[in-house]
């Protein structure tokens, strides 16, 4: 049985598309995207999912308390029998209720080398701080912002002639690459968590 992935997004959806493309190309074997949920109407990622024939739900978050909203989203994901929840540009903090509903089964991609530059516009934060290496991180999600145990990271060197846009573009290419790799490791169960450290176990031949 293919492992079922639920994707939560708020916007463009390029990380969702990268996962969908990896599944199609069998870089992510034995997996399927069972449901894509957006928290707002008009998220371009939802259109991209529809175009691929993937089931979608728009569950509007406006006006709802965090937990009341998360209960709705968790119910939709449970109904779709998802094994893993992937946040892909999902711009909301998750409640303890949601985290407890999917223990060690929620991943996020963030466009910085965490714990540096959590929060919004991480690429701009790194650029303006003047660091020489930016990058991206796939991590397990807990109740705190961009904070759970780190699965994979990729570093991107910042060039003198970079702009926030050119840097963000190179980071995004790395995001797409490491998200697939991380999802594969997690779905294959090739990891263990010791404290904050996520340790890989070798690939089975």
Q: Following DSSP, what letter does each residue of 51-90 receive, concatenated?
A: HTT--EEE---TT--HHHHHHHHHHHHHHTT-SEEEESS-
- Of the candidate residues 3, 5, 7, 15, the single one contacting ligand GAR (CB under 6 A): 15
Which one, 110 or 184, has the nearer CB to ligand GAR?
110
CB of 203 to ligand GAR, least distance (A): 26
Closer to ligand GAR by Cβ: residue 119 or 189: 119
> What is the distance, to the nearest Å, from the Cα of residue 51 to the centroid of all Cα atoms in its chain?
20
148 binds ligand GAR (CB under 6 A): no
How many other β-carbons are positioned within 10 Å of the β-carbon of residue 142?
A: 15
88 near ligand GAR (CB under 6 A): yes
Kindly identify the residues of this chain, within the stretch 16-55, that bind ligand GAR according to CB under 6 A.
Answer: 45
In this structure, are residues 87 and 8 in contact, taking their beta carbons and an 8 Å threshold? yes
Distance from C-alpha of 110 to C-alpha of 113, rounded to nearest angstrom: 8
Residues that bind ligand GAR (CB under 6 A): 9, 11-15, 45, 88-89, 109-111, 122, 146, 172, 175
């Amino acid at each position: 049985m293919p492992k079922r992935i639920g994707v939560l997004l708020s916007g463009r959806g390029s990380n969702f598309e990268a996962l969908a493309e990896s599944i199609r190309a069998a870089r992510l074997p034995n997996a399927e995207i069972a449901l894509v949920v957006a928290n707002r109407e008009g998220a371009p990622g939802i259109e991209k999912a529809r175009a691929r024939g993937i089931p979608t739900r728009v569950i509007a978050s406006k006006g709802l308390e965090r937990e009341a909203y998360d209960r709705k989203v968790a119910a939709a994901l449970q109904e779709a029998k998802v094994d893993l929840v992937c946040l892909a540009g999902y711009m909301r903090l998750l409640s303890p209720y949601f985290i407890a509903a999917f223990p060690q089964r929620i991943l996020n991609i963030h466009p910085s080398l965490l714990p540096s530059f959590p929060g919004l516009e991480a690429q701009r934060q790194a650029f303006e701080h003047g660091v020489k290496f930016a990058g991206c991180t796939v991590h397990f999600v807990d109740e705190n912002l961009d904070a759970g145990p780190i699965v994979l990271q990729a570093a991107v060197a910042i060039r003198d002639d970079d702009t926030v846009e050119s840097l963000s573009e190179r980071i995004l290419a790395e995001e797409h690459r490491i998200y697939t790799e991380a999802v594969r490791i997690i779905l294959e169960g090739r990891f263990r968590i010791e404290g904050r450290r996520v340790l890989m176990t070798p690939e089975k031949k």
